[in-house]
A and B are shown apart, each in its own frame.
Chain A
Amino acid sequence: MTKSYEEIPLTPISDSPSTMNMTGLWRAFRPVVDISRCKKCTLCWKFCPDGAITLVDGVPVIDLKYCKGCGICAQECSAECIVMVPEGAE
């Protein structure tokens, strides 16, 4: 519903954090990590542009609610243990 110019603030302001946007829905490819080969170099965590990777005991855990599937982690992985798999594929 369009609000009159008199009813809106000077600039759009939302009172909810942007984390409410589940950007993982945009994903066409999903990163899959072979943890057994991870060298704990943390490059994936450093390069993830969305902060969708957390490190648990030095090993990446990818938050698929927010991962857009850009593939940067797979590109940067020094152990080449992250592969991008099409969504819907087994």
Chain B
Amino acid sequence: MRMVMTGNYASAYGAKASRAEVIAAYPITPQTSIVEKLADFVSSGEMNAKYIPVESEHSAMAACIAAETAGARTYTATSSHGLTLMHEVLMWASAARLPIVMTNVSRAMAPPWSVWVDHMDSVAQRDTGWMQFFCESNQEVLDTIIMAYKVCESRGVMLPAMIIEDAFILSHTSEPVDVPDQEIVDSFLPPYNPELKIEPGKAMGFGSLVRPDQYMEFRYKAMQAMRDAHDRFLRVEKEFKQVFGREYGGLLDTYRCDDAEVVLVAAGSTAATAKDVVDAMREKGQPVGLARLRAFRPFPHEEFRALASKVSGMGVLDRSYTFGAAGAFYTEIKASVYSCQKRPVMKNYIAGLGGRDITPKILEKIFEDIQLTAKRGGGDEVEWVDVAGLPRRWR
């Protein structure tokens, strides 16, 4: 059924369509209308789930871990400081190999206090062992939740996933969204059925201590799982397209990149704006393309390496900054393509922090700057875009 809804409601409808059985959530700010809508679904009986309000995001994730260990499909949602408060238990969830799915409404970290889009909160969770999927539309948010459960719960994967919505631009903006029929979702996503779970009357210790002679083997298995999640995701998306008629371009969604001389890499809603800018520049004869980083984890190494071999310049837009280094997307992409025989000139653009608007005009100037940098054969590696006081004008 086609409805008009915010990204937050798309998340709630995604969790409902996926038949999440336990929802544990902290109900106060920085929480969003996602869990408010889910509370409505549960109280009205539209959704058959246990709704557990808890005293912190740390507890929300802990409750999801317990429920998932007992064999229930779980869901939670958070944002910014709520996500970073979860950090410890995020690591537990992935190493306990629990396929929890969570939406993070990606917001800036304080201070300065902010409630606007920025990817710092999500990027800071890079090493927790969670898959991370950045979305560019509300439909993609809903669809990715359904796909994520299927990927996460696969026997060869068994890892959790974070679905990332840009704050306000997706979370609080309404768009038409197709909510799929429940029977069709049920045919695509079978009930959660883990190999091992806690059962009443059967004493078992989960996550017990191992000595140095056995620890690395567990980490090695998690590494394999995240590596294999790459292909598993592509297969699930292919199947999703057959059933629902929609797809989003795999882990790296390339737009007009085939004959492009320079490309920009961006994640989230900015990528949607950048696709329009690519169209406008193409009309003026500029061979530019856009590569949307859809999955930060598992990281699309091969996709980047294939792209890097074809272009002379690659700009990377980070909506976060790793102090003392550069944007995290940039450093990872650069490391990934380093061993390519032919690789492009690269440049990092730090833009849109704390919800600063990344306008089409700014994106066009970024594309022009990548063209210039590629022609010159290099230049400043990291540039902060649209900062008052700096000599360069972007608006």
Contacts and interface: CB of A to CB of B under 8 A. Distances in A.
Contact of A17 (B96, B203, B218, B220): B203
Contacts of A5: 217-218, 220-221
Nearest to B219: A5
A18 B204 CA distance: 9
Interface stretch (A8-16, A45-53, A80-88): A8-16
B1 interface: no
B95 A11 contact: yes
Nearest to B216: A5
A11 B206 contact: yes
B97 interface: yes
A18 B205 contact: yes
Interface residues of A, number: 16
Interface in B183-227: 196, 203-210, 213-214, 217-218, 220-221
Given A3-B214, A9-B196, A10-B158, A15 B204 contact: yes
Q: Pick the most buried of A11, A12, A14, A15: most chain B CB atoms within 10 A of its CB.
A: A11
Contacts of A1: 213
A36 interface: no
Nearest to A20: B205
B218 A12 contact: yes
A81 B213 CA distance: 46
Interface in A7-64: 8-18
A10 B205 CA distance: 13
Contact of B218 (A8, A14, A16): A8
Contacts of A17: 203, 205
Nearest to B211: A2
B205 A16 contact: yes
A3 B214 CA distance: 7
A1 B211 CA distance: 10
Contact of B205 (A2, A3, A4, A14): A14
A16 B203 contact: yes
Nearest to A1: B213
Q: Pick the most buried of A2, A8, A9, A10: most chain B CB atoms within 10 A of its CB.
A: A10
A1 B210 CA distance: 12
A1 B214 CA distance: 8
B130 to A, nearest CB: 15
B208 A15 contact: no
Contacts of B214: 2-3, 8, 12
A4 B207 contact: no
Interface string B143-159: 00000000000000010
A16 B221 CA distance: 23
Nearest to A7: B217
Q: Pick the most buried of B95, B205, B208, B221: most chain A CB atoms within 10 A of its CB.
A: B205
Given A9-B196, A11-B206, A4 B158 contact: no
A55 to B, nearest CB: 24
Contacts of B217: 2-5, 8
Given A2-B214, A12-B218, A18-B208, 15 more contacts: A3-B214, A8-B214, A10-B221, A11-B95, A11-B97, A11-B218, A12-B206, A12-B210, A12-B214, A14-B205, A14-B208, A15-B203, A15-B204, A16-B203, A16-B205
Interface of A: 1-5, 8-18
11 contacts: A2-B213, A5-B217, A5-B218, A8-B214, A11-B95, A11-B218, A12-B207, A12-B208, A12-B209, A14-B204, A18-B208
